[in-house]
A and B are shown apart, each in its own frame.
Chain A
């Protein structure tokens, strides 16, 4: 397996637009460190294309941005691109981070059952975030969305920096807690709503497989 990253970046609604745009920080970190990165953008995020890339490029890490369900991760316009009992074996032995609702609960476990040398970090509950519609045309300026998306970005960034998957997972969860604390200390009306959503992401984030895996 080669030291490199494959990342999906679909953009067809608010959620995919935000999580794909915030992935800029992950991509920048990889590029700054000279790590090879293959970006699948917009219409390229299809099952056919992803299968081809996973078969042809043996990069160690795969990052999914997109909607999810217990057994699937979706790509462009809701196409199933990764599914239990379909193409999941293509992820065997890799480090996977899936910023997708619920996908850890069945898909994540199933991937790791094939090969326990890899690791899967993801969410077994819905991934929740608030955003300010004022910044929909420029998500990176949205400091509300940042509260939720920075802790999740921190997971792949930590792995890119050379840390083990287990450390990256625990550090990401800690950042959700830190943002909860910061939010509550502002004593603003929305603080409780933010804490509630961050709490869902905090308890929903899990790791399966090899916590010592590194890029």
Chain B
């Protein structure tokens, strides 16, 4: 990989992190904790810190957001929701 594409990938990763952090800030309540993977009960601030660092937990959180965004973009999410009836 040349220097330009490495720099571009890093820039995309940073944009991705920013997007995920914006989503967490907007939707994760401060009074709740998130458990993901082997990580027990993370506060909103801790989740954001992991995403900023890009460690294992941060990557798992980013992947969770990307999977959800993809499902929305492809229509898979709406199709799945419409497949079940309300009680």
Contact = CB atoms under 8 A, between A and B. Distances in A.
The interface size bin for chain B is 20 to 34
Nearest to A177: B84
Interface residues of A, number: 39
A101 B37 contact: yes
Interface string B34-71: 11111011000000000000000000100011011001
Contacts, number: 91
Interface string A115-133: 0000000000010111111
B17 to A, nearest CB: 16
Contact of B87 (A126, A178, A180): A178
Interface of A: 13-16, 18, 67, 69, 101-102, 126, 128-134, 136, 144, 174, 177-178, 180-182, 184-185, 189-193, 195-197, 199-200, 202-203
A15 to B, nearest CB: 5
A192 B41 contact: no
Contact of B81 (A69, A130, A134, A181): A181
A206 B83 CA distance: 18
A180 B60 contact: no
Contact of A180 (B28, B37, B64, B81): B81
Interface string B5-29: 0000000000000000001101111
